[in-house]
Structure formats: C-alpha cells, structure tokens
Amino acid sequence: MFAILSNYFRPLGKYRSIKFFYKFVLVCLLTSWLVISVTACNSPSRIIAPDPIVSECVDKYDPQVDYFPSKTKIKYAQGFTVDYQQNYKVVTVNQPYANAPSPVQYVLVQCGTPAPPNFPQAQIISIPVRSIVSLSTTHLPHLEALQILDRLVGVTDYNIIYWSPELLQIKDKQLTEIGKNYRLNIEKIIQLNPDLITAYGIGNAQDDQYGKLLELGLKVVLNSEYLENSPLARSEWLKFTALFFNQEELAEQKFTEIERQYQQIKNLTQNITRKPKVLTGSVYGGTWSIAGGKSYFAQFLADAGADYLWQDDDSTASLPLSFEAVFARANQAEVWLTNHSEWFSLQDIVKADPRYGELPPFRSGQVFNNNLRVSGGNDFWQGAVLHPELVLADLVKIFHPPLVPNHQFIYYQKLK
C-alpha cells in the first residue's frame, strides 16, 4: 500500500516532508480500517433485513433477522399501538368502538415466517396483505396515499364513495360493490376471499356485521379513527393501515408532510385577536347536531382562529339539540358552517326550513357548506379525514382571508 501511495504522490517527492506525508496518509487508512473492524466485531448479532424483503414472502426464515427495518412512530393518535418483534407486529386497537369493553389485538406475521404461539385471542394476519375489502370510505385515501390501490378488490355502496380519478381508473377493472344502503352482501365477500377486510364498529350488533364475517373465517380489523379528538390524530391512522402492507416508511413521509403543513397554517392564526363567532351543523330528523366543545371539529375551529359558540362544552361527540336551543345562542353567530350535503344555495336552506332565514349569518350571507368536492360521495367525509391541512386552510380562508390570499377552496363553498 505504501508503494502504491509513493507512486501516486511521486510529484511531491522533491519536498523534504514527503515521507511524513506518506506516513500520515497510511496511518489514516489503517485507522479507518481498524474502526470499521472494531465496529463490526462489537455490533449486536441482530441482523437488519434489506427493505425489499418486507414486500415479499420469506424463502428461508432466519430468526436473527429483523424483518421490519422501517418502524412507525405514533405521535397524536391515542387509539392504537404497535409492538415490533423480529418477524411479527402486535397491533392493539385500544378502543375498537365507543364504550367497548376491551381492546382488540392483531398479530401481523411476515409471510413465510412462523406465527408466535402465545396469542390465542388475537387474529393472525399474514403480511404484506395482497387483497383488501374496505367497509369505510375513509380507508380508501390511505390506499391511495400508500400507492397500493392495486390491492383493493371490494368497496361498500358506490353511492357514498367520492370517486377520485385514481378510484375511477380501477372501478370497472377490479372493484366489486359489496354493500348497499350500509348492508353487506356476504356472498360477494366470500367469493372475493380477501386477505383483509377493514371495518369500523359502533357497538350495535344489528348494524355491526364484522362479527358475522369473523365467524366465516375472514380476517377483519376494526379501524376506530373516528373516535380520535383531533384532526391530526385522525389523519395519523394512515400509519395503522400501513402496518398491514409494510409501508411504514412511506406512511411516515406522507404524514410528516401533512403535519408540517397543518402546523404552518395553524401558526398563522396564533396572534389573532379578532375571532369570528361560529355556528356549526344543521337539523337532521328533527335534531340539530352541534359539534361538541372538545371534539375534533372544535379543535379545527380553534386552530383556524375562530370563537366557537359551544367551546365551553366538554363533549367530544355531537350534541343533539332542538332548533330553539340552538337559535337562542346562534343570535351571536357571525359565520355558519353547515354540513348538509343537499344545500348548494341559500334558497335550498330556507326551502328546508324557513326559520334558518332568521339566523344572523344567513342574513349577512356568511354561510359556508362543505360540499364543494362531490363526485358520487362527498370527499369531506373521505379524503379530508386524511388531509386536515387542506380543511384548515379552507377554514382560515373563511375566517381570516388575508392570511391565506392564494388559497382556493377545496372542501367548503360560500352559499349564495
């Protein structure tokens, strides 16, 4: 090696210090070699699997290999946890539905490796999942973001789905409608025989059909993102879906960007002193549903720089109130955010009930509805769950337009 260096640096030989220079370079190289050797000798015996391995079945199982080199970190969501082992993940949904008596667990085992023997009550699911049926529209944006729509084979009622360009592209090629009016066609699901069915529970045996699917031997997981009380926590359930496809790294990247944009928009309103008073909701079936003061939507309003009329309420769910009870407080409202999918004009509102016309925001023309993005279903109840940063930008545009002068409404529109 010294001879090679001497030939390489021969033009420097006329300098008296050249021998020192040669020795210095040689010492540096030898030192680097020693550091690498010592590090290798002292490293743990645990082997990290190369990334491509998690997308395929394992041909030859090695218990020393960590088959999940990319691991998710949960920052906001309270509803699920994940514990990584060498070749499997233990995923716990802490509250599968409101007032659930206990958590549920799923053991996700890397395909081609042995399942652990000590989880008799948990579903054992082979990953990465190759085919999936989704029983909720809010799960579909996860598959789009994770670039795995090719795994989707079945969806619920076509009429409630927002048909994004990506979903439209695969609708006739690979999708089967397995529900209508929230009732499932069990025979179609059995025929599809998917690796995984993602569902949600409400704790009502008559409406929850996942129990029947489990009895048939199908793999069903409950996603309870709707129980989270902050927009970012709901969005972070993207990482939950990613666990079943070994897509943790991509999920982390996507959510980090969502979080960054959300916080950036939120920071715009932190020094606002003049906050408009806001009314939410509308009447359905004789009851006006108002967002609870500690709900995820109340968090949206606070982050957008609004003064929510029910912010003193401690409920995390919707409040069922009479029209009269709402009207008594709504006389202070400056902006009304409604969520009635069939209202596209102020005339539509007073046709539904002339009393709406007496609300101050109606008289001043400050009524906004979240049905701007509709194609079949309303994307506010689908894509917006994953993308709270876009909803927040809309709300800031409503309450404080100068803060986001270039933003164009995505989900909300002003009714005229």
Which range marks the domain in which residue 19 is found?
Answer: 2-42
The DSSP call for residue 244 is T
84: nearest Cα among 69, 96, 62: 69
| Assigned domain for 22 exists | yes
- pTM of the shown model: 0.85
Average pLDDT over residues 49-77: 84
The residue with greater pLDDT, 6 or 324, is: 324
pLDDT for 33 beyond 60: no
- Residues 62 and 154 placed together within one structural domain of the fold: yes
What does the alpha-carbon distance between residue 87 and residue 54 come to, in Å, rounded to a whole number? 10
187 CB-near residues (< 8 Å, 6+ apart): none
What does the alpha-carbon distance between residue 360 and residue 309 come to, in Å, rounded to a whole number? 14
Number of domains in the chain: 3
- Residues 158 and 238 placed together within one structural domain of the fold: yes
The answer to whether the beta carbons of residues 290 and 310 sit under 8 Å apart is yes
Average pLDDT over residues 136-153: 97
| Assigned domain for 107 exists | yes
pLDDT digits (tens, 9 = 90+) for 155-169: 999 999 999 999 999
pLDDT for 60 beyond 80: yes
- Residues 284 and 210 placed together within one structural domain of the fold: no
The pLDDT value given to residue 206: 54
DSSP 47-67: EEPPGGGGGS--SS--TTEES
| Assigned domain for 123 exists | yes
pLDDT for 121 beyond 90: no
- Residues 29 and 62 placed together within one structural domain of the fold: no
pLDDT digits (tens, 9 = 90+) for 196-238: 999 988 766 556 678 889 989 999 999 999 999 999 999 999 9
- Residues 304 and 227 placed together within one structural domain of the fold: no
The pLDDT value given to residue 30: 38
What does the alpha-carbon distance between residue 277 and residue 308 come to, in Å, rounded to a whole number? 6
pLDDT digits (tens, 9 = 90+) for 300-338: 999 999 999 999 999 998 999 999 999 999 999 999 999
- Residues 290 and 180 placed together within one structural domain of the fold: no
Average pLDDT over residues 109-127: 95
24 CB-near residues (< 8 Å, 6+ apart): none
